[in-house]
């Protein structure tokens, strides 16, 4: 069961209990949204644990036993509802299989390995006295291979330079308030609901990004144009490098053909010399003179 499928009355009771126990500050809509997200994740996590318990019971005691022996944190009605509605439902099983396959696919090239970006950022945050690591550093760590001294994808270098440029442009104003890493992400990447791109973390509910102002909209537009120009320049450089490479290949092929032709010519000349020597013209060939008279 997902949180959205829980009846409204039950959800309201849960949210009200949380509000009664904690002092929640900020915009009420954002607070409610954050609480709904958290409750959804907790419910999903609990459902997953129940599913793992069910599979272990089936494996060890059989399906009939598993069905009639729910764990302590679930009623028999809830337990059988999950079994019939999800865990043995063909449509749910097929959807689960496809989702599992999709999670295994890599949406973009990076060097994170099996460690999620959010985990990497969280570890660095904890090691940095709670300060979120710089977006530029994280992006380079993930997309640049120091062993080969190359970017995973040529556009990654453009993105990295754009991140640095955003910081540099903003710092040119001595009165400017330093941008947070989240604000930099919103300026560089297309904003994605529910996540701070490049850092893999959820957005701050209290953040009022500079992207809401007209000046920032103009800045983003100018930045996007500069990114396009950078990409076009990189594309031209790449085309020029390809042309240079092709020209070098043609020159090498021409030299190879010339050397082959010269070798064949020398072979023919040597064959002629050998033939003349076999006919007794060795002295004439050696001294460059004519044939001797007898």
Question: Does residue 293 fall inside a structural domain?
Answer: no
Confirm whether 78 is domain-assigned: yes
Residues 173 and 262 in one domain: no
Domain presence at residue 229: no
| Same-domain status, 131 and 98 | no
User: 90 and 137 share a domain?
Assistant: no
Up-side HSE of residue 210: CA atoms within 13 Å toward CB?
19
Among 104, 128, 157, the domain-final residue is 104
Indicate whether 200 belongs to any domain: yes
Q: Are residues 99 and 16 in the same domain?
A: yes
Last residue of a domain, one of 77, 104, 131: 104
Q: Total domain count for the chain?
A: 3
Q: Are residues 88 and 19 in the same domain?
A: yes
Q: What are phi and psi of 72, to 5 degrees?
A: -65, -30
- Alpha carbon distance 26, 33 (integer Å): 12
Find out whether 156 and 125 touch, Cβ atoms under 8 Å. Answer: no
What's the sign of the alpha-carbon dihedral 197, 202, 204, 205?
Answer: positive
**SS3 sequence of 184-212:** HHHHHCCCECCEECCCCECCCCCCCCHHH
Tell me the residue range of the domain where 171 lies. Answer: 117-212
Structure tokens, 249: 């290949």
Local confidence pLDDT in tens for the 294 residues of the chain:
677 778 888 888 888 888 888 777 777 777 788 888 888 878 887 888 899 999 999 999 999 999 999 999 889 998 999 999 889 999 988 988 887 776 555 445 555 555 667 777 777 777 877 777 888 888 888 888 888 888 888 788 888 888 888 888 877 777 767 778 888 888 888 666 667 777 777 766 444 443 444 455 566 666 667 777 777 777 888 888 888 889 999 999 999 999 998 888 888 888 887 777 777 766 555 544 444 444
The answer as to whether 232 is a domain residue is no
């Amino acid at each position: 069961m997902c949180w959205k499928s829980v009846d409204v009355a039950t959800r309201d009771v849960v949210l009200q209990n949380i509000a009664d126990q904690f002092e929640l500050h900020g915009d009420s809509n954002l607070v409610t949204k954050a609480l709904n997200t958290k409750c959804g994740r907790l419910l999903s996590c609990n459902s997953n644990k129940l599913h793992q318990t069910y599979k272990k019971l089936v494996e060890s005691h059989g399906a009939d036993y598993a069905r009639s022996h729910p764990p302590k944190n679930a009623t028999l009605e809830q337990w059988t509802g999950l079994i019939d509605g999800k865990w043995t439902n063909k449509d749910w099983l097929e959807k689960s299989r496809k989702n599992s396959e999709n999670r295994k696919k890599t949406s973009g090239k990076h060097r994170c390995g099996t460690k999620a970006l959010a985990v990497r950022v969280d570890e660095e945050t904890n090691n940095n006295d709670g300060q979120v690591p710089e977006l530029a550093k994280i992006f380079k760590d993930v997309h640049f291979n120091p062993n080969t001294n190359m970017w995973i994808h040529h556009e990654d270098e453009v993105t990295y330079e754009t991140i640095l440029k955003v910081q540099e442009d903003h710092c040119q104003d001595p009165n400017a308030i330093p941008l947070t890493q989240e604000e930099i992400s919103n300026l560089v990447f297309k904003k994605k609901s529910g996540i701070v791109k490049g850092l893999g973390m959820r957005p701050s509910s209290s953040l009022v990004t500079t992207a809401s102002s007209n000046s920032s909209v103009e800045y983003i537009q100018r930045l996007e144009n500069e990114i396009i120009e950078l990409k076009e320049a990189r594309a031209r450089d790449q085309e020029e490098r390809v042309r240079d490479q092709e020209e070098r290949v043609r020159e090498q092929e021409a030299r190879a053909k010339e050397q082959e032709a010269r070798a064949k010519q020398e072979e023919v000349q040597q064959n002629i010399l050998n033939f003349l020597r076999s006919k007794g013209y060795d002295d004439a060939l050696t001294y460059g003179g004519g044939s001797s008279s007898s």
